[in-house]
Amino acid sequence: MDIGLKGKWALVCGASKGLGYACAAALAEEGAHLVMVSRTSGPLQESARRIAQETGVQAVPVAADISTPEGRAMALRACPQVDILITNAGGPKAGDFRELTPDDWQAALQANMLAPIELIKATVNDMIARKFGRIVNITSAAVKSPVDILCLSNGARAGLTGFAAGVARQLAPHNVTLNNLLPGKFDTDRLRANNAVRAERAGVPLEAETRRQADAIPAGRFGVPAEFGHACAFLCSAHAGYITGQNLLIDGGAYPGLL
Ligand code: NAP
């Protein structure tokens, strides 16, 4: 099935590995060209090379910190036009809220709230003019079920979610959609690092903590990043033009609420 993405350009942030990489790979499978951003050049170059080789699309790596104005300018300069914007950055550090400083909060707000907002500001008018745009913010299941040790994430992402809800309705008349994808537990470096913190705090082996967490998910396992990437590609497709302003949980059934 052609989902209408051939020849579109996607700016994918946090794209060298994990969920961002999976989104980039899935978009490329559908024929979208990519600008891929992350801070560390080596792994990013390798990821972009692999995607270009496997799919035949252009994949331009930009080694930059998306939480800075300079990093965002580099990323935007590298993209001929942004038809699709996937905002993403590493999650903020975990920890007891008593130990967090104002600088920790500033860093979290820059990376996980203000960077997406600035990228949306910079790209949305051209999307409106072209009558096509797809914006997906990678946020977190913590938006619906805040996680005790992830105070910075809980706070910054709630702010982005409120912003997106207001803006999505302004963009809807122009075939520009804005949605948030909320990962539950996906098997990435980020999840492994968080599990290590939990295991240490609980004084249990990492393997036992990992098994305990997977068993608590109705699906009985962590998500595979490619599952997340393909959901993202669908939200960016021509077929998803009537889906906007949504917070879509992808969590193997972990969230127990009705809404
Ligand atoms: P990951 O495996 O650690 O990958 C993060 C990616 O973002 C890497 O490519 C990293 O590369 C890049 N990155 C980090 N900070 C950046 C910055 N300031 N500028 C540009 N690139 C940056 O993380 P993940 O598991 O894919 O998670 C992605 C997002 O989803 C995070 O915000 C995370 O908190 C959230 N999330 C993940 C899960 C999960 O289960 N995995 C669950 C809930 C929420 P560099 O370090 O080289 O920059």
Domain positions in the chain are 9-185+225-250, 187-222
Distance 90 CA to ligand 1 centre (A): 3
d(CA 73, CA 76): 5
Q: What is the mean pLDDT of residues 147-163?
A: 94
Report whether residue 19 contacts ligand 1, using a CB cutoff of 6 Å: yes
* The pLDDT of residue 50 is above 90: yes
Cβ-Cβ contacts under 8 Å for 62 (sequence gap 6 or more): 35, 36, 37, 44, 74, 75, 78
**142 phi and psi angles, rounded to 5 deg:** -65, -20
The whole-model pTM stands at: 0.97
Q: Kindly state the percentage of the chain with pLDDT values over 70.
A: 100
How far apart are alpha carbons 179 and 182 in whole angstroms?
A: 10
The per-residue pLDDT for 98 is 95
**pLDDT higher than 90, residue 149:** no
CA-nearest residue, atom 7 of ligand 1: 14
Taking the centre of ligand 1 as the mean of its atom positions, its distance from the CA of residue 129, in whole angstroms, is: 31
Neighbours of 94 (CB within 10 A): 18
Mean pLDDT across the stretch 18-23?
Answer: 98
Percentage of residues of the chain with pLDDT beyond 90: 92
- pLDDT 10s digits, 113-142: 999 999 999 999 999 999 999 999 999 999
- Report whether pLDDT(148) > 90: no
pLDDT level of residue 200 (50, 70, 90 thresholds): very high
Report whether residue 66 contacts ligand 1, using a CB cutoff of 6 Å.
yes
Ligand 1 atom at minimal distance to the Cα of residue 71: 19
Q: Report the amino acid identity of residue 232.
A: C
> How many angstroms separate the most distant Cα atoms in the chain?
56
Element (H, E) at 42: helix 41-55
Compute CA distances 69 → 73, 127, 155, 212, 258, whole Å. 6, 21, 22, 41, 40
Please report the pLDDT score of residue 201 as a whole number. Answer: 87
Res. 66 pLDDT band, cuts 50 70 90: very high
Cα 54 to averaged position of ligand 1 atoms, centre (Å): 23
pLDDT of 157: 97
Instruction: Please give the distance, rounded to the nearest whole angstrom, from the Cα atom of residue 88 to the centre of ligand 1.
Output: 7
Judged by average pLDDT, the poorest of 2-16, 20-34, 88-102, 126-140 is: 88-102
CA 201, 249, 137, 168 torsion-angle sign: negative
pLDDT score at 132: 98
In CATH terms, is domain 9-185+225-250 a member of 1.10.490.10? no
Q: Calculate how far, in angstroms, residue 21's C-alpha sits from the geometric centre of ligand 1.
A: 9
